[in-house]
Amino acid sequence: MSTEMAKSLTLLTALAACLALAAADWSQGTATFYGGPDGSGTMGGACGYENLYNAGYGVNNAALSPVLFNDGASCGQCYVIICDASRPGGQYCKPGTWITVTATNLCPSNYALPNGGWCGPGRPHFDMSQPAWEKIGIYSGGIIPVQYQQVKCWRNGGVRFSIAGNYYFLLVNIQNLAGSGSVAAAWVKGDKTGWIQMSRNWGANWQAHAGLVGQGLSFAVTSTGGHYIQFLNVVPGWWQFGMTFNTNQNFYY
């Protein structure tokens, strides 16, 4: 056997192993769409990102059912989704297509419907923006069977911190994370303080009960992938509530 042929066989074997591993990671779920043909109705939502373009996420987004949303811990995570033509409803699939979406909202259970509807208890479901959904499904289908897996997020630019709250209470929406896409832990530090542990308030909003008005701010964040970054001196002392501050750092995992 030639050296080149041996190399080719080694590469093919490695590729087959990677594909088998990826296939084992797929889970079954369902998907619908909301928000209109331009996706404008998906702005805002239970993660607190408000304008999804400004937050770095754009129109390829989805509201997750409660079992996937995990009380907001999944905000910002990325999922690759394909339509599953092998299951009932698969006639509405677009074969050979896929889409990656970011979790930006909650699809709540509808207790007026049997078993809570599409997003009922324990049901993995993606209520996607219409433009994202139509990448993989035929409009007339309405609901399609899908396979999905969480994947690494790729973002333009660095992590962003959007500040709200009041004089004694800081509420920070942490946006545009690459890597795992979501926040596991966060801290804030003023010019006159040490590091203060923050806690999740709701969605991607993290809180600190501290009077930090008039102080420059630094943040530290651990992603759900375990990557820890300090964002030093990213907010100047003249900041006001409602402002968002960009950084030049982001996560790898």
Single residue among 129, 151, 173 that ends a domain in this structure: 151
Instruction: Kindly state whether residue 122 falls inside one of the protein's structural domains.
Output: yes
Both 94 and 175 in one domain: the answer is no
Counts of helices then strands in the chain (DSSP H, E): 3, 15
pLDDT at 24: 56
Tell me the C-alpha distance between 75 and 71, whole Å: 9
Residues of the chain with pLDDT under 70: 1-24, 111-112
What phi and psi, each to the nearest 5 degrees, are found at residue 210? -155, 145
Return the pLDDT at 117: 87
Q: How far is CA 84 from CA 77, 120, 122, 190, in A?
A: 22, 20, 20, 50
Q: What is the pLDDT of residue 112?
A: 64
Burial class (CB in 10 A: 0-12, 13-18, 19+), 179: buried
> Rounded CA gap, 106 and 172, in Å?
19
**Residue 19 forms part of a structural domain:** no
Q: What residue type is assigned to position 215 of the chain?
A: Q
Cβ(32)–Cβ(143) below 8 Å: yes
For 129, the enclosing helix (H) or strand (E) is strand 125-129
Residues 173 and 237 in one domain: yes
Report d(CA 51, CA 179) in Å as an integer.
21
- The enclosing domain of 40 has a CATH number of 2.40.40.10
Residues 58, 145, single domain; the answer is yes
Query: In this structure, are 123 and 185 located in the same domain?
Result: no
State CA 87 to chain mean position distance: 27
Rounded to whole angstroms, how far apart are CA atoms 68 and 190? 35
Q: Does residue 5 sit within a domain? A: no
Residue 21: inside a domain = no
Give the pLDDT confidence score for residue 116 in this predicted structure: 78
Strand-pair category, 99-106 with 78-83: antiparallel
The SS3 assignment for 106 reads: strand
Using DSSP's 3-state secondary structure scheme, residue 211 falls into coil
Pair (195, 241) in one structural domain: yes
Residues 163 and 125 in one domain: no
The CATH number covering residue 217 comes to: 2.60.40.760
pLDDT, residue 21, reads 37
Give the strand order in the sheet containing 217-223.
195-197, 183-190, 217-223, 228-235
Question: What pLDDT shows up at residue 6?
Answer: 40
Residue 169 belongs to a domain: yes
Q: What angle do CA 118, 74, 168 make, to 5 degrees?
A: 120
Structural domain range at position 241: 159-247
Strands annotated E in 167-213: 169-175, 183-190, 195-197, 199-202, 205-208
* 13 domain residue, yes or no: no
Same domain (yes/no): 33, 109: yes
Looking at the 3D structure of the chain, how many domains does it have? 2
143 and 164, same domain (yes or no): no
Which of these three, 98, 124, 151, is where a domain ends? 151
Residue 117 falls inside a structural domain: yes
Let me know: does 237 contact 215? Beta carbons within 8 Å: yes
**Strand 169-175 to 183-190 pairing:** unpaired
Domain match, 200 and 242 both: yes
Instruction: Please indicate, yes or no, whether residues 208 and 242 belong to a single structural domain of this protein.
Output: yes
